[in-house]
């Protein structure tokens, strides 16, 4: 059994009610639910939330909400892994133990159904414990600088000052869209970002974290550009 779990708590602070705020004509979470359904890779799709309004909108969008998340998993300190383990354990206690579980973030409107499907295929082909979406940094992080208390700058890696950009390793970061994993890996709290995981590399123009109002505006502009251009079809 393949299970999709979309975590969506009600207490977002920087963008209030972010998970169900209207984005391109739909509640934000609806885009993730639609992508999960269109991927054709799930036997069951649930939303893990502590919020009745989010639960109602999730159900209207095609997801199942079989429980409300307990308060101890709904504060600022609960991790994504905590929430996924709770969902797996709840299903196991109620008669269904999934083999593979995909965590899909509720705030990923640029997510494509085909990427979810490709992630599943990689999980099986590579025999990995996890597969997650990733993308490359636009600028070599080895050349990063930071401000000092005196308002000056210093390099994080001064030893790389004279290294040509083309000689530096390309580095990547989590794209914040989805995380396929085997149930035993989730339940044993294995680290996602380790040698047991395989990344699905996405182009940078399809990746945007949405944590601030500026992020939201940028994501809307990216979404509009992608869906009005010939670069990709809406859920190709």
| Residue 230: pLDDT over 80 | no
Which CATH superfamily hosts domain 2-135+173-228? Spore Coat Polysaccharide Biosynthesis Protein SpsA; Chain A (3.90.550.10)
Percent of the chain topping pLDDT 90? 91
Instruction: Please check whether residue 196 is in contact with residue 129, taking contact to mean a CB–CB distance below 8 angstroms.
Output: yes
Looking from the CA of 54 toward its CB, the CA atoms found within 13 Å total: 28
Q: What pTM was computed for the model?
A: 0.93
Task: Pinpoint the alpha helices (H) of the chain.
Answer: 28-39, 52-60, 80-93, 113-126, 183-187, 213-228
The residue-averaged pLDDT of 146-170 equals 96
Boundaries of every domain in the chain: 2-135+173-228
Which of 11-15, 178-182, 191-195 bottoms out in mean pLDDT, i.e. has the lowest?
A: 11-15
Q: Which DSSP state fits 18? A: G
Mean pLDDT value across residues 37-63: 98
Reported confidence tier of residue 231, pLDDT bands at 50, 70, 90: low
Computed over every residue of the chain, the mean pLDDT equals: 95
Q: What average pLDDT score do residues 85-99 get?
A: 97
Determine the average pLDDT of the residues in 19-30.
Answer: 97
């Amino acid at each position: 059994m393949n299970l999709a779990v979309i975590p969506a708590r009600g207490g977002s602070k920087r963008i209030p009610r972010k998970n169900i705020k209207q984005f391109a004509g739909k509640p934000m979470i609806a885009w993730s639910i639609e992508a999960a359904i269109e991927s054709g890779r799930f036997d069951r799709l649930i939303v893990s939330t502590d919020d009745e309004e989010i639960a109602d909108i999730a159900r209207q969008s095609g997801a199942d909400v079989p429980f409300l998340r307990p308060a101890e998993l709904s504060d600022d300190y609960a991790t994504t892994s905590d929430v996924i383990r709770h969902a797996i354990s709840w299903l196991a206690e109620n008669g269904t133990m999934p083999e593979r579980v995909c965590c899909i973030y509720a705030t990923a409107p640029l997510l494509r159904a085909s990427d979810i499907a490709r992630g599943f295929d990689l999980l099986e082909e590579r025999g990995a414990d996890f597969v997650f979406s990733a993308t490359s940094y636009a600028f070599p992080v080895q050349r990063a600088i930071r401000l000092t208390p005196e308002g000056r700058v210093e390099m994080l890696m001064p030893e790389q000052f004279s290294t040509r950009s083309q000689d530096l390793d390309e580095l990547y970061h989590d794209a914040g869209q989805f995380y396929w994993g085997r149930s035993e890996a989730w339940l044993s709290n294995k680290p996602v970002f380790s040698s047991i995981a395989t990344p699905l590399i996405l182009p940078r123009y399809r990746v945007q974290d949405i944590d601030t109002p500026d992020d939201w505006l940028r994501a809307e502009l990216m979404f509009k550009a992608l869906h009005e251009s010939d670069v990709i079809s809406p859920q190709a």
